[in-house]
Amino acid sequence: MSHLDELNKPMPLSEEMMSFYQTNNYIKLKNVFSSDLIQYFNKIVTDRAFLMQQPDIPLEKRDTYGKAFVQLFNLWTIDDLVKTLVFSKRLAGIAAQLLRVDGVRLYHDQALFKESGGGITPWHADQYYWPLDSDKTITAWIPLQKTPLEMGPLEFSAGSQQIKTGRDLSISDESEAMIGQRLRVTDFEHVVEAFDVGEVSFHSGWIFHRAGANQTKDTRKVMTIIYMDSKMRLKEPENEGQINDWKTWCPGVEVGEVIQSHLNPALVDLNHDFK
């Protein structure tokens, strides 16, 4: 099977899987991709990332956010090979099934490289940054190598999308302290597990999650793809992060309109694809 065939082969989910996601707002799925495909994209994404940006501030002199990861956006717009991963109908089809929508659009992609010695990623909810008018959002978190606990895989507070406290906090020392304290007095299960090669997690925009420090000698390389309901509309921004996201990822879209700019293509329609 070619890499393109693997990227676009459908992966039907069971009702049990979709119900688990609806309750917990995250799920980890094994064997989404082969080890060969992950190895292939590890090299491609790494090569592209190092062409784009090298950190110019030593790790020990960065703030908490800067120590958490090197962050690169929308690689699909500058590299056609990365684009084949970002536009994968297999991934988009999983996202649509979990959201229980007919189709999804791309919000944007991110490469997240947590360097050796990189610090924690504080507790946060992604949708703090997004000017989107519903919770029909989901992120695919795709490790580009085996990711043991020592490397800092994602940690989830299962079902914590129900909590409103902390939704107004950006990723920071404050969010780590305040959200962490709030979660400690709830009954939501704290889930932190290693990722096998080819394993991919999906999480909603409002679930609280974090990642540990990278205590290994290797960089933790992750590609993420953020999807939204194909009918998603732009809402009035509520903070500076949402204003920035509007101008950066939804160019030309007006408040109240469906977000269908040239940067937000529809990636899958379950009523027509995979039939």
> Considering the domain boundaries, does residue 173 fall inside one?
yes
What whole-number distance in Å separates Cα of residue 32 and Cα of residue 40?
15
Domain count along the chain? 1
> Considering the domain boundaries, does residue 72 fall inside one?
yes
pLDDT band for 187, please (50, 70, 90 cuts).
confident
What whole-number distance in Å separates Cα of residue 43 and Cα of residue 128?
32
Identify the bridge partners of residue 154 per DSSP, sorted by sequence position.
Answer: 211
Helical (H) or strand (E) element with 203: strand 200-204
> Considering the domain boundaries, does residue 274 fall inside one?
no
pLDDT band for 204, please (50, 70, 90 cuts).
very high
Residue range(s) defining the domain that contains residue 209: 3-269
Greater confidence (220 vs 69) lies with: 220
CATH of the domain at 233: 2.60.120.620
Find tokens 């000698």 and name the residue.
217
| 49: pLDDT strictly greater than 90 | no
Mean pLDDT of 260-272: 97
> Picking from 60-64, 149-153, 222-226, which range would have the lowest pLDDT averaged per residue?
60-64
Report the pLDDT value the prediction gives residue 67, as an integer from 0 to 100: 46
Percent of the chain with pLDDT over 70: 92
| 68: pLDDT strictly greater than 60 | no
What whole-number distance in Å separates Cα of residue 110 and Cα of residue 14?
28
Mean pLDDT of 44-48: 92
Find tokens 């990189």 and name the residue.
118
- What is the value of pTM for the model shown? 0.95
> Considering the domain boundaries, does residue 250 fall inside one?
yes
> Considering the domain boundaries, does residue 275 fall inside one?
no
> Considering the domain boundaries, does residue 182 fall inside one?
yes
**Number of CB atoms found within 10 A of residue 68's CB:** 23
Determine whether 273 is exposed, middle or buried from the number of CB atoms within 10 Å of its CB (0-12, 13-18, 19+).
middle
> Considering the domain boundaries, does residue 107 fall inside one?
yes
What whole-number distance in Å separates Cα of residue 222 and Cα of residue 215?
16
> Considering the domain boundaries, does residue 120 fall inside one?
yes
